[in-house]
């Protein structure tokens, strides 16, 4: 488990732009809940899902490359195999903070981050930690 308080605080800095990967159409899905929790907390947050479109009044981008600006933090709420592709995309785009929501992490993705200089959080929920900072 990686839950260093200083690292968590650096990810949750209010100046950070956050992209949530895995924001579906379903309000009950976890990615949707994470996205709206961060929006309501005042973070500049982008929704990412391969289908694109909109979620509420927010645009949903098909991938990280399509975002209007580079996020500081990418929060992944997707199956572990997808997380493994997302961390590679983060490296290519120069994004160095990846938060893997519980259930999204894989040892392969964690090791990729560590070997490639990406800060990574896993086994902790961004919504829970946000309320503690």
Which pLDDT score, from 0 to 100, does residue 49 have? Answer: 97
Residue 119 main-chain phi, psi, to 5 deg:
-75, 135
- Residues 72 and 18 sit within 8 Å (Cβ to Cβ): yes
* Beta bridge partners of residue 75, listed in sequence order: 20, 99
Which pLDDT score, from 0 to 100, does residue 132 have? Answer: 84
Which pLDDT score, from 0 to 100, does residue 1 have? Answer: 41
Which pLDDT score, from 0 to 100, does residue 4 have? Answer: 84
Task: Return the domain boundaries, the chain.
Answer: 5-132
CATH topology of domain 5-132: Rossmann fold (3.40.50)
pTM metric for this prediction = 0.95
Which pLDDT score, from 0 to 100, does residue 109 have? Answer: 98
Going residue by residue through the chain (133 aa), what tens digit of pLDDT does each one get?
Answer: 445 889 999 999 999 999 999 999 888 899 999 999 999 999 999 999 999 999 999 999 999 999 999 999 999 999 999 999 999 999 999 999 999 999 999 999 999 999 999 999 999 999 999 998 7
Query: Where do we find the tokens 């902790």?
Result: 124
């Amino acid at each position: 488990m990686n839950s260093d308080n200083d690292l968590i605080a650096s990810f949750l800095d209010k100046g950070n732009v956050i992209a949530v990967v895995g924001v579906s159409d379903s309000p009950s899905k976890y990615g949707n809940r994470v996205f709206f929790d961060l929006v309501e907390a005042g973070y500049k947050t982008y929704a990412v899902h391969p289908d694109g479109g909109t979620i509420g009044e927010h645009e949903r981008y098909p991938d990280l490359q399509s975002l209007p600006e580079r996020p500081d933090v990418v929060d992944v709420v997707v199956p572990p195999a997808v997380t493994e592709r997302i961390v590679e995309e983060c490296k290519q785009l120069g994004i160095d903070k990846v938060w893997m929501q519980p259930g999204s992490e894989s040892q392969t993705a964690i090791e990729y981050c560590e070997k490639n200089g990406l800060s990574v959080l896993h086994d902790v929920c961004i919504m829970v930690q946000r309320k503690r900072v």
